[in-house]
Chains A and B, each alone.
Chain A
Amino acid sequence: MENIIFDRIRKQIESSDVVLYMKGTAVFPQCGFSAAVVQILSQLGVPFKDVNVLEDSDIRQGIKDFTDWPTIPQLYVKGEFVGGCDIVREMFESGELQEMLQSKGLLAA
């Protein structure tokens, strides 16, 4: 069972460069922490795939197990876990997030 969900997650994070597991959608976030990450990505103009965990309880628990991370949102870039809301915010404020996205060709320098 777990393998099926992990396979789905692997496909999701491989099929888009930037994937955000969140509560609600990019257009209508349903949690302040998810909204904060959406706002940062939108402000940078980085396209991302939103996955609404509230619509899929398998993914909601599965992504926590997959990443070994207890909270949502979770940001993946090029298949790698970047962090949750606190880390993304800290990286955005220090400019690290922008540098990392530029180095992966996802943001114009």
Chain B
Amino acid sequence: MAMGPGEIEALIKAGIPDAQVRIEDLRGDGNHYAAYIESASFSGKNRVQQHKMVYDALQGKMGGELHALAIQTAVPQEKK
């Protein structure tokens, strides 16, 4: 069962409310996605912890119905 990009974005935002999320469908097949996620809540956490927050938001779908989702996380740059 493939997931749509809107569904992925909605789950991430539900779990990480301030997240800025951009989803790319890498092959146009609805099965291989990349997600770029910016959130102030990543601040002070290492990459493993940041990715775990995203996996938690995805409620166990990662590695299951969501086969291929490349994740890149970032803390928003402070605006000057």
Whether A69 contacts B55 by the Cβ 8 Å rule is yes
Assess whether B63 is in contact with A90, with CB atoms less than 8 Å apart. no
Contacts of B60 in A (CB 8 A): 70
Q: How many residues of B contact A (CB 8 A)?
A: 13
Taking a contact as CB atoms under 8 Å apart, the answer to whether B47 and A83 are in contact is: yes
Q: Cβ of B40 < 8 Å from any Cβ of A?
A: no
Interface of B is mostly: mixed
Q: Which of A33, A64, A70, A87 contacts B47 (CB 8 A)?
A: A87
In the complex, are the beta carbons of A71 and B72 less than 8 A apart?
no
Q: Which residues of A contact B (CB under 8 A)?
A: 33, 64, 68-71, 81-87, 90-91
Q: Does B52 contact A (CB under 8 A)?
A: yes
The chain B residues found within 8 Å of chain A, CB to CB, are: 47-48, 51-52, 55, 60, 62-64, 68, 70-72
- Return chain A residues, CB-CB under 8 Å to B68: 33
B72 adjacent to A86 (CB under 8 Å)? yes
Query: Given A64-B63, A70-B62, A70-B63, is A86 in contact with B52 using a C-beta cutoff of 8 Å?
Result: no
A70-B63, A71-B63 given as contacts; is B55 within 8 A of A81 (CB)?
no
